[in-house]
């Protein structure tokens, strides 16, 4: 099939590349010239394992092209996928301006092609509030008039950044929402290579398909806020969340995924999709107390952790506050295996620490460039993880990248001015810290404070 992706971000690019890999002719369109130039020059504007190689393979096979010209992108496409951002607006509702702009551009091209064209399928891949795909259909109809045929479909995406290619190629399920049978058939044909191994494709009504995405993300966000609340109770009563987790997650009904205590969720999806549910609740007069609580617990979690840092430095013998201190952050992406820094807990804490007069240094294996791009000259970005520690007052673990899991603790201790680690991801055993004489704070576990380690 001839397909066009509108928006070549994490979702549009991965979707376009993976669909070209099954033999479709795909055009990836974006309004950002720099992204398209990078792609045309054989580069990849995002970090996603396996993606660069797959782009090269499909470009070479002449199945994958890139453009900033929307008329060229839409003219011959049989299916057009809207993959643009749907960020949270100022009032907490979803900003649909990018979606609507894309829909209007498509409508203009459909109108120009006239009534004899093969009906295009306009597929909503962006995560959108329930009712948006129907609103898009109505807007296109308004522009093209009553006699020109086209279809719409909602096709929420469930890939995880950092494992996006794998997730797209081997989805747990594919969800498609349609209001006409033919659109469902075309979508099922397109996804057939991805569900061959028995994973289901669920074709349903459009409103339910849109809601599946929010229900899924909000459930995962709920698990994270839940375990963080339990971790906070563990701290209050001297229990150890690591042991509690083990005991709890052995129950098959509970399972062990998305139940890691830490700094709370970040990224471009969970925070915004939780807020979107709250906003849909307000709009419809439906109580969304649970979504609100999930959001509130999440926001409080990183603040609570930052207070541990502040309290440590406010203590006797630790130098009267954060002003003049140097903090070394390991990990700035919102999670490992991605360069995405949207809503990253590390960046919240770095900005708060800076506001209190601290100097913040940061290391991240792939997200450092984005941090510098978004905050030019604000933080000291260090290309080598141990170098962040030289004469710093503390190390803060903010993303659980693999390379942080078994570091050289003697080296850490020798480089730091004060042997203190704030571990927002519970990467280390408390016994290791006692052994190495490091003052250690984590989440849901008692701190370790060897007397000789406090500077
Ligand atoms: P992104 O910000 O990485 O990419 C969006 C792209 O759309 C940008 O490159 C932007 O320049 C482009 N764009 C904006 N308006 C355009 C227009 N009118 N025409 C052409 N291009 C335009 O966003 P993303 O992370 O890929 O997310 C896209 C959607 O997918 C969102 O609704 C998001 O919630 C959803 N989603 C994201 C993920 C994820 O892990 N990132 C997973 C599932 C679903």
Q: Based on the domain organization, do 407 and 264 belong to the same domain?
A: yes
Domain of residue 376, CATH code: 3.40.50.720
pLDDT digits (tens, 9 = 90+) for 344-386: 999 999 999 999 999 999 999 999 999 999 999 999 999 999 9
Q: Based on the domain organization, do 149 and 81 belong to the same domain?
A: yes
Number of domains forming the structure of the chain: 2
Q: Is the CB of 83 under 6 A from ligand 1?
A: yes
* DSSP structure string for 34-80: HHHHHHHTT--SS--TTHHHHHHHHHHTT-EEEES-HHHHHHT-SEE
Confidence at residue 401, expressed as pLDDT on a 0 to 100 scale: 98
Of the residues 170, 204, 238, the one at which a domain ends: 204
pLDDT category of residue 336 using cuts at 50, 70 and 90: very high
Q: Inform me whether the pLDDT recorded for 454 exceeds 70.
A: no
Neighbours of 165 (CB within 10 A): 18
Q: Is the CB of 157 under 6 A from ligand 1?
A: yes
Of the residues 168, 189, 204, the one at which a domain ends: 204
Q: What mean pLDDT comes out for the span 251-259?
A: 96
Neighbours of 171 (CB within 10 A): 18
Ligand 1: which of 45, 268, 275 to mutate, most ligand atoms within 8 Å of CB?
268
pLDDT digits (tens, 9 = 90+) for 199-212: 999 999 999 999 99
Q: Which atom of ligand 1 is nearest to the CA of 128?
A: 32
Q: Based on the domain organization, do 110 and 36 belong to the same domain?
A: yes
Confidence at residue 329, expressed as pLDDT on a 0 to 100 scale: 98
Q: Is the CB of 86 under 6 A from ligand 1?
A: yes
Q: Based on the domain organization, do 186 and 212 belong to the same domain?
A: no
277 among known catalytic residues: no
* DSSP structure string for 272-322: HHHHHHHHHHHHHT---HHHHHHHHHHHHHHHHHHHHHHHHHHSTTTTSSS
Q: Based on the domain organization, do 167 and 244 belong to the same domain?
A: no
Marked catalytic residue, from 18, 28, 269, 277: 269
Which structural domain range is residue 410 located in?
Answer: 208-455
Confidence at residue 315, expressed as pLDDT on a 0 to 100 scale: 74
Percent of the chain scored above 90 by pLDDT?
Answer: 95
Confidence at residue 451, expressed as pLDDT on a 0 to 100 scale: 61
pLDDT category of residue 320 using cuts at 50, 70 and 90: confident
pLDDT digits (tens, 9 = 90+) for 210-251: 999 999 999 999 999 999 999 999 999 999 999 999 999 999
């Amino acid at each position: 099939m001839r397909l066009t992706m509108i928006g070549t971000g994490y979702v549009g690019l991965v979707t376009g590349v993976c669909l070209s890999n099954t033999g479709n002719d795909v055009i990836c369109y974006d309004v950002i010239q720099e992204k398209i130039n990078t792609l045309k020059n054989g580069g990849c504007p995002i970090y996603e394992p396996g993606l660069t190689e797959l782009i090269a393979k499909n470009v070479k096979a002449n199945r994958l092209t890139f453009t900033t010209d929307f008329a060229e992108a839409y003219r011959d496409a049989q299916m057009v996928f809207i993959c643009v951002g749907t960020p949270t607006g100022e009032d907490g509702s979803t900003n649909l301006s990018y979606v609507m702009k894309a829909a209007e551009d498509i409508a203009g091209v459909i109108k120009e092609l006239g009534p004899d064209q093969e009906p295009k399928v306009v597929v909503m891949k962006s995560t959108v509030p329930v009712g948006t795909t129907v609103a898009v259909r109505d807007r296109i109809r308004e522009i093209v008039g009553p006699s020109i045929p086209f279809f719409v479909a909602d096709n929420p995406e469930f890939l995880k950044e950092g494992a996006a290619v794998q997730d797209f190629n081997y989805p747990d399920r594919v969800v498609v929402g349609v209001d006409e049978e033919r659109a469902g058939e075309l979508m099922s044909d397109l996804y057939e290579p991805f569900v061959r191994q028995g994973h289901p494709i669920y074709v349903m009504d459009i409103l339910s398909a849109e809601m599946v995405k929010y229900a899924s993300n909000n459930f995962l966000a709920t698990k994270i806020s839940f375990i963080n609340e339990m971790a906070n109770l563990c701290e209050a009563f001297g229990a150890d969340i690591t042991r509690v987790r083990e005991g709890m997650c052995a129950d098959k009904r509970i399972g062990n995924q998305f139940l890691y205590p830490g700094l709370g969720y970040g990224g471009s999806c969970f925070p915004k999709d939780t807020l979107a549910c709250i906003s849909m609740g307000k709009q419809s007069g439906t109580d969304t107390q649970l979504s609100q609580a999930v959001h509130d617990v999440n926001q409080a979690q990183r603040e609570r952790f930052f207070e541990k840092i502040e309290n440590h430095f406010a203590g006797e013998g630790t130098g009267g506050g954060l002003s003049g201190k140097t903090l070394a952050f390991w990990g700035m992406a919102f999670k490992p295996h991605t360069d995405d820094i949207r809503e990253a807990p590390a960046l919240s804490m770095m900005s708060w620490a800076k506001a209190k007069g601290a100097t913040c240094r940061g290391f991240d294996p792939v997200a450092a460039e984005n941090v510098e791009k978004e905050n030019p000259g604000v933080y000291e970005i260090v290309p080598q993880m141990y170098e962040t520690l030289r004469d710093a007052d503390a190390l803060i673990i903010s993303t659980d990248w693999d390379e942080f899991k078994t570091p050289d603790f003697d080296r850490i201790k020798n480089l730091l001015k004060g042997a203190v680690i704030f571990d927002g991801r519970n990467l280390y055993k408390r016994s290791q810290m006692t052994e190495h004489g490091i003052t250690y704070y984590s989440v849901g576990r008692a701190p370790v404070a060897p007397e000789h380690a406090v500077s």
